[in-house]
Amino acid sequence: MVVDQIAAASEAVPARHVTSSRRGGRGVRLLRELPDRLPVILGCLTVPALGATLVGQFRPFVVLPLWALLVALTWRLVPPPPAGGRVGPIVGLLTLVGGWSGWGVATAGRYVVVQRDPGFLTLEAWWLTTHPSSRIPVGSALQGAVAGASAATDGFTVHGGVLLPQGNSALPALLATVGWAGGPPAVLWANVLVGAVAIVAVFAVARRLVGPWWSLLAAAGVACALPMLAFTRSAYTEPLVLALTFGGVAMLIGARQRPSGGAFALAGGMVGAAAAARIDGALVVAGAALGLACVVLAAEDPEERRRLARHAALALAVMGGIGALGLVDLVLLSPDYLDDLSSQLALLLGGTAALLVVVGAVLDSRLRDRVRAWLGRHRRALGTAGQVLVVAAFVVLASRPLWLTVRGAPAGSPAAQAIAEVQGAEGLPPDGTRTYDERTLTWLAWYLGWPTLVAAAVGAVVVVRRIAVRRDVAAAALASMAVAGSTLYLVAPAITPDQIWAVRRLLPVALPAAVVLAVIALAAAWERRRWFWRVPAALVVIATIAVPVSTWFPVAAHRELGGQLSLVDGTCTALQRIGATRVVWVKSAPWKYLATLRVICGVEVVEFTDNPSRDQLAQVARAWGGALVVLSEDPTPLGFDPNSVPFAPNVVGTQWERRISGPPRAVVTRNDAVWAWSLAPDGSLTQLSAPTP
């Protein structure tokens, strides 16, 4: 069988995770250590940034010294890089990451309005750049929140007179640290830097499995994937989870080569920081726990297993402690979001807790040696069963669209309406109840290509064989994280299925793991040293880059929500010139502006999500009082001429199209402008012209 031959060939590949000597000068050593150190440095910034936000002390003189202290404390805990003195692959990696980052910064999105996650995460980061707490006071807006008007908006809820952004705060806090250096607008491109570290982290893991040159292919494959471009150019949490998770896996693999409690604690801390960044962070905790169990059970000497079990317990404790900050974050700063997802979170936490109990029992001295002995006696059979399971899982996931149609969106729900809207735009049969969960592997194929995914399946077989035959700790760590971090979302992603939005579920673990597994298979095939192995391997190498690049056009060169920053800047400037401090926003666009006006313009705001009547406006005016300004992007429903001169100038907005049947293939443009009126106590409106500079 071809797969078995490739897997057998992998046994001849020399181990890549032997610790290095101290050859070369200090600069060369630092260069070789850089792929391991950069994710750790990012993790050392994430933890104090989140902690300071939780206690309302997000200030440079609090966060930055703690960051420097953590970097200093962890500096000697980072395991040495794999053997081999070549710096060529590192130079290639830095060149790739530098060019990729420059392009990303130049095309970063302009999510300064609330539209899905990047909108409220960007605005929270913008606010934190100049404030010590993510609690945003609404001021007197609660007085005006009458007659259908609201002081809250999508992604933000009101508690105790403050707006609380939805979701975890780790990423906004991290982006805001860049805003300290570059000003609030820097938060718009700061996630590109996080993505750059994520690419480096993928290289760091692959380097300990297949060597530096093949790892460069893994890094390039991830960097070229359109989801990686899309989700780093705007404020998505997935790139941060990817960077910290794969950085943690690299630390775990390296820690096994030079075991110490500190090195294991560092690996656990990295994964814990990743878990604190998202509400579903328990998935990566489960993957790391399995990896730690594999590390302990793979040791030959009983005394060594005992020491490793202590190190693993320390890693789990640190991981749990830092990961718990994510739950504290939700309880304190996003209670409504936590309440909305409490049932799903309870299941996820319950499953992870059960797994941790099992891992703890396996690591206990009374079971540890017995479990290892049983695994040793049956490792060949377990290896064969694992290989069969990998192939079967791939076939089932790949073929699901042929025999399965998943439905689950409640008819008439907002999700069903959104799905039906995209279906109608594409000319698909209208059925808003479809979730398209059966297409998860197909989603990956759209962006990576089927050749890469087939190679990834072969690579998974290779990894299972390495674990069974050689007790390969590096392979086991990768496999544990890939299985725990990918399985749930490959089976049931629980997300609105339009692209490119939906594939974000697979970015933190499934996508990079697939690329690394594919590279493992390619390296094993190349070791056969026969043309009939190397020619197909070379073709897949080309496809690993060419297929992702083919999905770029024409969308990758266009920034998401282009024009919005100019429109918001124009609106804020105009409001400042007329001295407006209280605004009534009337929603008339796909997004809402309440949080934008509050955070960026600094005015107090209430928002109508439906066109208000004159009586409703009068009630707001009487309740709130003072000089009120009404803003909207469409004057027609309020009875005014859309051809009149707007309050803030017209801009051309751009956005990637939403599709269900494939990646985005077009850029949607629209003209955006803002009109303004003064609001009288009787609810009448008088249009305001654009103020002169």
Q: What is the pLDDT of residues 513-558, one digit of tens each?
A: 999 999 999 999 988 878 778 899 999 999 999 999 999 999 999 9
Measured distance CA(32)–CA(85) in Å, rounded: 8
- Percent of all residues in the chain with a pLDDT value above 70, rounded to a whole number: 96
641: left (phi over 0), alpha (psi -120 to 50) or beta: beta
Residue that is last in its domain, among 331, 351, 367: 367
Residue 142 lies in a domain: yes
- Percent of all residues in the chain with a pLDDT value above 90, rounded to a whole number: 77
Residue 304 lies in a domain: yes
**pLDDT band of 5, cuts 50, 70, 90:** low
Pairing of the two strands 648-656 and 667-679 = antiparallel
Residue 110 lies in a domain: no
Q: With CA atoms as reference, report the closest residue to 499 among 686, 227, 208, 281.
A: 227
Clarify whether residues 660 and 568 are in a common domain.
Answer: yes
Q: With CA atoms as reference, report the closest residue to 314 among 300, 295, 298, 329.
A: 295
Q: Domain count for the chain, please give it.
A: 2
Measured distance CA(509)–CA(482) in Å, rounded: 6
Q: In degrees, to the nearest 5, what angle opens at C-alpha 671 toward C-alphas 668 and 675?
A: 145
Residue that is last in its domain, among 367, 382, 414: 367
Secondary structure tally for the chain: helices H, strands E: 27, 9
Residue 396 lies in a domain: no
Residue type, 3: V
Looking at the DSSP assignment, which residues form a beta bridge with residue 137?
A: 162
- Burial classification of residue 561, based on how many CB atoms lie within 10 Å of its CB (0-12 exposed, 13-18 middle, 19 or more buried): buried
CB-based contact 569:670 (threshold 8 Å) = no
549: left (phi over 0), alpha (psi -120 to 50) or beta: alpha
Q: With CA atoms as reference, report the closest residue to 439 among 381, 498, 482.
A: 498
Residue 230 lies in a domain: no
Clarify whether residues 147 and 256 are in a common domain.
Answer: no
Residue 23 in tokens: 């050859």
Looking at the DSSP assignment, which residues form a beta bridge with residue 165?
A: 156
Whose tokens are 């001021």? That residue is 139
Residue 90 in tokens: 């590192």
Measured distance CA(533)–CA(123) in Å, rounded: 52
Q: With CA atoms as reference, report the closest residue to 417 among 504, 501, 498.
A: 498
Residue that is last in its domain, among 338, 367, 396: 367
Q: With CA atoms as reference, report the closest residue to 45 among 244, 192, 210, 195.
A: 244
- Estimate the crossing angle of helix 261-276 against helix 302-333, to 10 degrees: 30
Question: Please, which residues have CB within 8 angstroms of residue 310's CB and are 6 or more apart in sequence?
Answer: 261
Q: With CA atoms as reference, report the closest residue to 76 among 36, 23, 17.
A: 36
Q: Which domain holds residue 604?
A: 135-168+562-688
* Average of per-residue pLDDT across 243-250: 97
Q: What is the pLDDT of residue 6?
A: 55
Q: What is the pLDDT of residue 23?
A: 52
Q: What tens digit of pLDDT does each residue of 38-51 get?
A: 999 999 999 999 99
Mean pLDDT of the chain: 92
Q: With CA atoms as reference, report the closest residue to 682 among 631, 627, 620, 639.
A: 620
CB-based contact 584:638 (threshold 8 Å) = no
Residue 394 lies in a domain: no
* Average of per-residue pLDDT across 239-244: 98
* Average of per-residue pLDDT across 369-384: 86
Question: Please, which residues have CB within 8 angstroms of residue 566's CB and are 6 or more apart in sequence?
Answer: 651
**pLDDT band of 26, cuts 50, 70, 90:** confident
Measured distance CA(570)–CA(655) in Å, rounded: 20
Residue 325 lies in a domain: yes
**pLDDT band of 84, cuts 50, 70, 90:** low
Clarify whether residues 591 and 680 are in a common domain.
Answer: yes
Clarify whether residues 684 and 595 are in a common domain.
Answer: yes
Q: Would you give the DSSP letter of residue 147? A: T
Whose tokens are 């992604």? That residue is 155
Q: What is the pLDDT of residue 7?
A: 54
Measured distance CA(553)–CA(14) in Å, rounded: 40
CB-based contact 273:43 (threshold 8 Å) = yes
Compute the radius of gyration of the chain from its Cα atoms.
Answer: 26
Q: What is the pLDDT of residue 408?
A: 87
Residue 432 lies in a domain: no
Measured distance CA(355)–CA(167) in Å, rounded: 25
15 has a pLDDT exceeding 50: no
Pairing of the two strands 667-679 and 604-608 = unpaired
In terms of residues, how long is the chain? 693
Clarify whether residues 260 and 356 are in a common domain.
Answer: yes
